[in-house]
Amino acid sequence: MVSSKMTGFFKNEDCPSSNELLEYQNGDLPRTRGSEIGRHLGSCDFCEAEVEFYSTYPQGRDDNTSEIGEIPAPLFELAEALLKNRHTDSRSLNALLKENERMTVERVE
């Protein structure tokens, strides 16, 4: 079941871009900006979850290409569900969360 805590789980205009969060997770930001993002993560569950995602599903760091890797299917489906406002039907979101949990357990084993 989706908790009411999830209602405020979104990126806002004060949040760093996804590229900056990926650079933060990879340790590729200047110290000052990294410190700013670190403080932001202390108060933003969404960005903290995004950085955690990048640590769980490492993105390519090939410096010879600017190509962005393919988004993992569970994240794509979750984003699509949220963007289409299917999150009001908690069954869809719960199914995606259960699938992610199953994949995490399989990965650990």
The pLDDT assigned to 90 comes to 61
Residue 100 class from Cβ within 10 Å (0-12 exposed, 13-18 middle, 19+ buried)?
A: middle
Q: What is the pLDDT along the chain (109 residues), one digit of tens a residue?
A: 444 444 567 788 889 998 999 999 989 999 999 999 999 999 998 899 999 988 888 776 555 444 556 777 777 777 777 767 654 556 666 676 677 677 666 655 5
Contacts of 86 (CB under 8 A, 6+ apart): 80, 92, 93
The pLDDT assigned to 21 comes to 92
Predicted TM-score of the model (pTM)? 0.51
Angle at 62 between CA 59 and CA 63, to 5 degrees: 125
